[in-house]
Amino acid sequence: MVQYSTARLNTSFAALSDATRRGVLEQLGRSDASITELADKFHMTLTGMKKHVGVLEHAGFVTTEKVGRVRTCKLGLRKLEEEAVWIETYRQLWAARFDALDGVIEDLKLKEKTDD
């Protein structure tokens, strides 16, 4: 069984649980942006956007660099490989359970036809 870092998964999923933060990642996937540009795009205060960027930065999804008075954000180097493996494990588990349920339903249908 693959071992997962619970703290890392918690941090990642907490960061990705917010629609604004997912939007910020999507935006930064297109081009780097300042906190001000992101705040304007998402119609929020600078303080609010700084908090969102801080959560993403803590998770390793975003890096920031301050040049003068402008803090520029870009995608971090962190990838979602561990999270993807965790999700795939549960996808396979649920797929197997649904396949087994399909088998039970088919058996019941066949039994129902032979009982008639």
Divide the 116 residues of the chain into consecutive groups of 10 and give the mean pLDDT of each group: 76 96 96 97 97 96 94 90 89 93 90 80
Sheet strands side by side (includes 62-67):
33-34, 70-75, 62-67
- With 0-12 / 13-18 / 19 or more C-beta atoms within 10 angstroms meaning exposed / middle / buried, residue 49 is buried
Position 110 scores a pLDDT of 87
Residues with Cβ within 8 Å of residue 24, at least 6 apart in sequence: 38, 42, 49, 52, 53, 56, 62, 73
Position 2 scores a pLDDT of 54
Is-contact 81 61, C-beta < 8 A? no
Strand partners, 75: 62
Single-letter amino acid, residue 54: G
Position 29 scores a pLDDT of 94
Position 1 scores a pLDDT of 47
Position 34 scores a pLDDT of 97
